[in-house]
Structure 1
């Protein structure tokens, strides 16, 4: 259990490591706990999101093959992806007790971190926050929603002294 502060709800997280590839990241739990603590604190204070006193989420650490199956079954996209979120109720008020599941694919996360020239821990922190925000109803399908979600991600990452992962990328509205 992560005790974040007296003013924040407890956030229980259940980690399931399905792929041994994740064993190479010795401080996996610390990375996830840091990201979730920062995300929970930010959305509670800055976004006014309310949570029940004890909330829970599951984090699954798998591989490209498993996440490809999930992506095909749930999103109709037959390809691996870095992270998938499965919210229990993305419109809850307050949120909890169960928030949902976040699933990560090692090979994609590792490859993206290498391609981006960032530490895998920093990329995983971003993806954890991204998945957490999806559990709370944030999305990036429409440009205005994407702007909002990205601004929250960037603000939380800045509090963790991590750079803006969207800097230098093409805005969604300019893509065809």
Structure 2
């Protein structure tokens, strides 16, 4: 069982509906037992402020992950929070000629994998994380986000 809370700091018809986001989250966490996760969709100002506060970067980024540092409660693992900056995601999809929904799915998956301990700090770990992203996206019917042609 996955307990998912989706918070929307802004409303925009280009942002995937909660049901789609929930489907992606359920797919990534399938078979891993009970877990709790929060997904927050923010505007440019909040994305910028969070990136500056937590990463020391003076710009907004597409996705931030905040793993929870707490024990499981009643056998439910608290994974943490994934924050997605809608304007950055939309801009990147256009700049990279990617399908917008595929880019959203990729970044939701990317953020969730960070909550599970994956990272891309060095080449070997980045390769493992990218392979998992590609596999999960393919299972959901999305193209490889690391190839130049991404389904447009």
TM-score, length-scaled by structure 1: 0.76
Flag structure 2 segments of 5+ consecutive residues without an equivalent. Answer: none
Q: Contact (CA 8 Å) 1:19, 1:63: kept in 2 or not?
A: yes
Q: How far is the alpha carbon of 1:26 from its aligned partner?
A: 6.7
For residues 66-125 of structure 1, give each alpha carbon's deviation from its aligned partner in whole angstroms, at most 9, with x where no partner exists.
Answer: 1111111111111110010000149x9xx9421100001111011111122233211111
- Of the three residues 113, 125, 128, the one matched with 2:93 is 113
1:5 matched to which residue of 2? none
RMSD: 2.2
Paired residue for 1:74?
A: 54
Specify the alignment match of 2:117 in structure 1. 137
Matched, 1:84 2:64: yes
Structure 1 outlier segments of 4+, above 2 Å: 116-119
Q: Secondary structure at the match of 2:53?
A: helix
Aligned length: 146
Q: Which runs of 5+ in 1 are unaligned?
A: 1-9, 45-49, 169-176
- Please tell me whether the aligned partners of residues 81 and 108 of structure 1 are also in contact (alpha carbons under 8 angstroms): yes
Q: Among residues 13, 28, 31, which one is paired with 2:17 in the alignment?
A: 28
